[in-house]
Amino acid sequence: MAKIKKINHIAIAVKDVEESLKFWRDAMGLQVDHIEDVPSQKSEVVFIPVGDSEVELVKPTSPDTGVAKFIEERGGGMHHLCFEVDNIDEMLNQLKEKGVRLINEIALELPGRKMAFVHPKSTNGVLVELYEVL
């Protein structure tokens, strides 16, 4: 059985990075590690470490993404929860065997990591991301 190691990050969809940082950085006192343009996700991501995990502020750079639609519908907010696992392929098989609906049946390979999303229909309404750090 695949093992969940930790919560890797919590992603929050935002319209305006500077506006969001007034809360996360200025009021909460968290520090931004870096801001990254992620073309594969058509978004800009602000990485804010919190202990062993991170808060990621995700700002879409194109209107045709899931995150952009999410912001349009709900004005932003918590978008997904990401669990880091020791073996993502094993985890995906395990979930499939249990009848869990997956958005990505096969993990996507990105630099330094493999990832997949689990459908919120199977998770009590929470979009769950799985990560394996390579």
Footprint of Co ion (CB under 5 A): 11, 82, 129
Give the shortest CB-41-to-Co ion separation in angstroms.
8
By beta-carbon proximity to Co ion, the closer residue of 43 and 95 is 43
Question: Closest CB to Co ion among 13 and 82?
Answer: 82
Whole-number minimum distance, CB 8 to Co ion, in Å? Answer: 8
Cβ closest to Co ion, residue 11 vs residue 57:
11
Least separation in angstroms between residue 3's CB and Co ion is 19
84 vs 129, beta carbon nearer Co ion? 129
Give the shortest CB-45-to-Co ion separation in angstroms.
Answer: 8
In angstroms, rounded to a whole number, what is the distance separating the alpha carbons of residues 67 and 64? 8
Using the minimum distance from each CB to Co ion, give the nearer residue, 11 or 118: 11
Give the nearest distance from C-beta 119 to Co ion in angstroms.
Answer: 15
CB atoms within 10 A of CB 95: 21
The DSSP-derived string for the chain is ---EEEEEEEEEE-S-HHHHHIIIIIIT-----EEEEEGGGTEEEEEEEETTEEEEEEEESSTTSHHHHHHHHHSSEEEEEEEEES-HHHHHHHHHHTT--BS-SSPEEETTEEEEEE-GGGTTT--EEEEEE-
